[in-house]
Amino acid sequence: MDVKESFLTSDKKIIQLNLWLVVDDNSKFVRDKKKGKKKALENIEFFCLEKYQAQKIRDKGHEYILTIEYETDDELNEIIHNLYREMESLADLRHCFIDAEISTLEGEKSW
In a domain, 10, yes or no: no
Q: Is the pLDDT of residue 6 over 60?
A: no
Indicate the pLDDT class of residue 77, thresholds 50, 70 and 90.
very high
In a domain, 71, yes or no: yes
pLDDT for res 1? 47
In a domain, 43, yes or no: yes
Sign of CA dihedral 22, 23, 27, 31: negative
Q: Is the pLDDT of residue 48 over 80?
A: yes
In a domain, 58, yes or no: yes
Task: Output the CA–CA distances (angstroms, integers) from residue 6 to 9, 71, 72, 76, in the order listed.
Answer: 5, 14, 18, 21
Q: Is the pLDDT of residue 34 over 70?
A: no
Q: Using H for helix, E for strand and C for coil, what is the string for 14-46?
A: EEEEEEEEEEEECCCCCCCHHHHHHHHHHHHHH
In a domain, 55, yes or no: yes
pLDDT for res 14? 97
- The span from the CA of 95 to the CA of 80, in Å, is 23
In a domain, 88, yes or no: yes
Task: Output the CA–CA distances (angstroms, integers) from residue 67 to 37, 53, 94, in the order listed.
Answer: 25, 6, 27
pLDDT for res 32? 58
Any residues with CB less than 8 A from the CB of 14 and at least 6 apart, and which? 67, 68, 69
pLDDT for res 41? 96
Q: Is the pLDDT of residue 29 over 70?
A: no
In a domain, 31, yes or no: no
Indicate the pLDDT class of residue 27, thresholds 50, 70 and 90.
confident
Indicate the pLDDT class of residue 30, thresholds 50, 70 and 90.
low
Q: What domain range includes position 99?
A: 38-106
Q: How many domains does the chain have?
A: 1
The residues that bridge with 25 in the sheet, in sequence order, are 96
In a domain, 4, yes or no: no
pLDDT for res 33? 53
